[in-house]
Amino acid sequence: MAHPRVSIVGIGVSPGIAIGPAFVLEKTNYTAHRWEIPAGEVTRELRRFRAAVAASVSQLRTFKRRLARDLGPQHVYIMDAHLLMLKDRMLLDGVAKIVRSERVNAEWALQQVIAQFREAFESIEDAYLREKAGDMEDIGQRVLHNLVGATHEQVTQIPEGVIVLARDLSPSDTAQMRKEWVLGFAIDMGGKTSHTAIVARSLEIPAVVGLEDVTTRVANGDPLIIDGNTGQVYVHPDEETVRHYERLRRRYHRYDVELHKLRELPAETLDGYRVGLEANIELPEEIPSVLEHGAAGIGLYRTEFLYFNRTDMPTEEEHYGLYRHLIESIHPRPATIRTFDLGGDKFISQVPLAKEMNPALGLRAIRFCLREVTAFKTQIAGILRASAHGKLRVMFPMVSELTELRQAKEILGEVAGELDRRGEPFDRDLEVGVMIETPSAAIIADILAREADFFSIGTNDLIQYTLAIDRVNEHVAYLYRPLHPAVLRIIRETVRAAHTQGIPVAMCGEMAGEPIYTQLLIGMGIDSLSMNAVSLPRVKKIVRATRLADAQQLASAVGQFKTAWEVEEFVKGEMTRRFPDDITDDGRQICLI
Ligand code: PEP
Ligand code: MG
């Protein structure tokens, strides 16, 4: 009987193509039954629970050591987060309370507590936080398995040369995989920012996530193709598809070898014009990948993750320790730290705020910082102190008027005075930048440029606000067009205003990491591009094959078009013609072939 050919699209999170048989990793999710225990057994039951928690801690510590040995010390953060959850009082006390009050078995009590966590997390809109629910679930399952004496680990049973399929993979599962024996993996859950995706990228294992129900549609041994670039997955592909992907895989491999060679070379055009190519990071465990992909520095450090998944606020020491670690690990490269962009839908439990009708237009980013001044000052103090250890810069997100920049700088001045009194060293010439993310900031860029040391254009938000398109609403995703003439005009004006004042302009939104836009952005005068580390060599390849005059000609030619579609067609046509080896025919899957 012929097998049904299935093609599913998920989110490609780690580039590369894998062709091979499926291995479905069934994580047995243990379901606990409820039974009552005699009053005299409560203490013993609680001891049994504590022993299971202790066993889980010891397993995670083993993974942590393994991870540190194989991937470097930065990666242990993932395990630390899991270990911290095992100390969570809400978890431990919650279980003890149920065991005591209901006189029930610990498995049942634990399952109830995890279900409460799940409910609380599920109502959260922020994808990053929702992923945390998965981490908590994983921890819960680990303790449950230890309670019933079963093994939680199936990763060790994975045979060689397979594509691993799973509902979800915890970072500890992922960390145990090696590209020498796992061809790739595809999972139902997850998003681009999940720890699992980050680990997959650093291990260079092709991966697709967010497939929703792939595990129910594939059986062990089914032939499979996964494309970690486009997120495409084929089950029982026909011969022609297999041949096509085998060709792509060979081409991709050759391309990758070429990209590797570029890592140490400068991001310089054919006529010697230098473009800064930097990396965006959210988590310290991304640092090795940043260095490996030849970043000239970190152009955007999103510091929000520090605030998630905890009940207290990070201390000055924590901020300081983290930023110091960052700047020392990438020495002598510079790093730009963005002050926390919280509020709106990235809420944190530490600061209770009213639910907003329009979170994207609400009390977020710099607005939130200027209201929660103590938290802001704590972060600024950490940044300033870390600036004594390397070349740091700071920038403020979502500025929409000059007063906000002035107030933020005033607070920075106050914190600097305080550090002086305490005798703490810091960089007195710390550069202060503005993220250009709102149309109002772009329109008054000439005014802001007089009081800022640099600009960084955050196109993710700038496009959202300029085109009035909610960036997280999939129904209007089709309107999210970086090449819309309005967006291009606003970028051009921002660059002009900055350069008139003699300050540099970076770009750190997703647009900066897409090779199809590279020539255009260089031609428009953007001084540096900051992107996810994996994209760096791809963009560098375009930079190194570009002549500045050609880039400028492209940038000036797009001015003649009236619609986003016309600009897109033009840029696509030009880029496929100029870079036939790098940009695919549809112009969409930029350089990843
Ligand atoms: C942006 O808006 O382009 C940006 C870089 O910031 P974030 O994506 O974190 O909002
Ligand atoms: Mg932004």
Q: Verify whether ligand 1 is closer than 6 Å to residue 589 (CB atom).
A: no
- pLDDT tens-digit map of 312-331: 889 999 999 999 999 999 99
Q: What is the pLDDT of residue 589?
A: 42
Which protein residues have their CB within 5 A of the ion that is ligand 2? 437, 458, 461
Q: What is the pLDDT of residue 73?
A: 63
Q: What is the pLDDT of residue 544?
A: 97
CA of 396 to the centre of ligand 1 (A): 11
- Choose the residue to mutate in 281, 298, 302, 396 for probing ligand 1, maximizing ligand atoms within 8 Å of C-beta: 302
User: What do you get for the CA distance between the two ends of the chain, in Å?
Assistant: 33
Residue pair 207/228 in contact by the 8 Å Cβ criterion: yes
- pLDDT tens-digit map of 84-116: 888 888 888 889 999 999 999 998 999 998 888
Q: What is the pLDDT of residue 593?
A: 36
- Mean pLDDT calculated for residue range 59-70: 74
CA of 142 to the centre of ligand 2 (A): 36
Cα angle at 591 between 589 and 593, to 5 degrees? 70
Q: Verify whether ligand 1 is closer than 6 Å to residue 126 (CB atom).
A: no
What gap in Å lies between CA 481 and CA 516, rounded to an integer? 13
Q: Verify whether ligand 1 is closer than 6 Å to residue 304 (CB atom).
A: no
Which one of the listed residues 152, 293, 319, 508 is annotated catalytic? 508
CA of 267 to the centre of ligand 1 (A): 23
- Looking at residue 315, its amino acid is T
- Mean pLDDT calculated for residue range 494-499: 98
Scan for tokens 């250009």, then name that residue.
Answer: 436
Cα angle at 380 between 378 and 382, to 5 degrees? 70
In the predicted structure, residue 491 carries a pLDDT above the cut 80: yes
Q: In what order do the strands lie in the sheet with 162-166?
A: 6-9, 232-235, 223-227, 17-24, 162-166, 182-187, 207-209, 11-14
Q: Longest Cα pair distance anywhere in the chain, in angstroms?
A: 84
In the predicted structure, residue 273 carries a pLDDT above the cut 80: yes
- pLDDT tens-digit map of 425-441: 999 999 999 999 999 99
In the predicted structure, residue 226 carries a pLDDT above the cut 80: yes
In the predicted structure, residue 230 carries a pLDDT above the cut 70: yes
Those residues whose C-beta lies under 8 Å from the C-beta of residue 65, and which sit 6 or more positions away, are none
Average pLDDT value over all residues in the chain:
87
Q: Which ligand is nearest to the CA of 282?
A: 1
Residue 549: both structure tokens together: 């005059």
- Mean pLDDT calculated for residue range 535-553: 95
Q: Verify whether ligand 1 is closer than 6 Å to residue 404 (CB atom).
A: no
Q: What 3 state SS string does 530-560 have?
A: EECHHHHHHHHHHHHCCCHHHHHHHHHHHHH
Q: Verify whether ligand 1 is closer than 6 Å to residue 511 (CB atom).
A: no
Q: Where are the beta strands (DSSP E) in 167-256?
A: 182-187, 207-209, 223-227, 232-235
Give the residue, 359 or 76, on which the prediction is more confident: 359
CA of 83 to the centre of ligand 2 (A): 31
Give the residue, 442 or 200, on which the prediction is more confident: 442
Smallest CA separation from ligand 1 atom 1, residue? 458
Smallest CA separation from ligand 1 atom 4, residue? 458
Least reliable range by pLDDT among 190-194, 499-503, 522-526 = 190-194
Residue pair 30/150 in contact by the 8 Å Cβ criterion: yes
In the predicted structure, residue 242 carries a pLDDT above the cut 90: yes
Q: What is the pLDDT of residue 592?
A: 41
Q: What is the pLDDT of residue 370?
A: 94
Q: What is the pLDDT of residue 325?
A: 96
Q: Which of 40-49, 142-151, 339-348, 387-396 is most confident? A: 387-396
What gap in Å lies between CA 593 and CA 591, rounded to an integer? 6
Beta strand 223-227 pairing with 232-235: antiparallel
In the predicted structure, residue 591 carries a pLDDT above the cut 50: no
Q: Verify whether ligand 1 is closer than 6 Å to residue 303 (CB atom).
A: no
Smallest CA separation from ligand 1 atom 8, residue? 460
Q: Which ligand is nearest to the CA of 463?
A: 1
Q: What is the pLDDT of residue 87?
A: 83
Q: Verify whether ligand 1 is closer than 6 Å to residue 346 (CB atom).
A: no
Q: Verify whether ligand 1 is closer than 6 Å to residue 341 (CB atom).
A: yes
Q: Verify whether ligand 1 is closer than 6 Å to residue 509 (CB atom).
A: yes
Task: Band the pLDDT of 387: cuts 50, 70, 90.
Answer: very high
- Mean pLDDT calculated for residue range 454-477: 87
Residue 441: both structure tokens together: 């900031």
Q: Verify whether ligand 1 is closer than 6 Å to residue 582 (CB atom).
A: no
Residue pair 286/533 in contact by the 8 Å Cβ criterion: yes
CA of 461 to the centre of ligand 2 (A): 5
Which one of the listed residues 75, 82, 195, 293 is annotated catalytic? 195
- Choose the residue to mutate in 281, 301, 341 for probing ligand 1, maximizing ligand atoms within 8 Å of C-beta: 341
Cis amide leading into 332 (omega within 30): yes
Q: What is the pLDDT of residue 78?
A: 67
Least reliable range by pLDDT among 55-59, 368-372, 479-483 = 55-59
Active site residue 195: yes
- pLDDT tens-digit map of 281-301: 888 878 888 998 999 999 999
Q: What is the pLDDT of residue 422?
A: 97
- Choose the residue to mutate in 338, 455, 461 for probing ligand 1, maximizing ligand atoms within 8 Å of C-beta: 461
What gap in Å lies between CA 47 and CA 176, rounded to an integer? 31
CA of 508 to the centre of ligand 1 (A): 7
Smallest CA separation from ligand 1 atom 6, residue? 458
- pLDDT tens-digit map of 153-195: 567 678 889 999 988 777 667 767 777 889 999 988 776 656 6
- Mean pLDDT calculated for residue range 35-41: 86
Active site residue 331: no
In the predicted structure, residue 198 carries a pLDDT above the cut 70: no
Q: What is the pLDDT of residue 151?
A: 59
Smallest CA separation from ligand 1 atom 7, residue? 460
Q: Verify whether ligand 1 is closer than 6 Å to residue 302 (CB atom).
A: yes
In the predicted structure, residue 39 carries a pLDDT above the cut 90: no
- Mean pLDDT calculated for residue range 261-272: 93
In the predicted structure, residue 128 carries a pLDDT above the cut 70: no
CA of 128 to the centre of ligand 2 (A): 15
Q: Which of 108-112, 216-220, 483-487 is most confident? A: 483-487
- Mean pLDDT calculated for residue range 329-343: 94
Residue 155: both structure tokens together: 């990763």
Q: Verify whether ligand 1 is closer than 6 Å to residue 461 (CB atom).
A: yes
Q: What is the pLDDT of residue 305?
A: 77
CA of 437 to the centre of ligand 1 (A): 8
Scan for tokens 């089709």, then name that residue.
Answer: 478
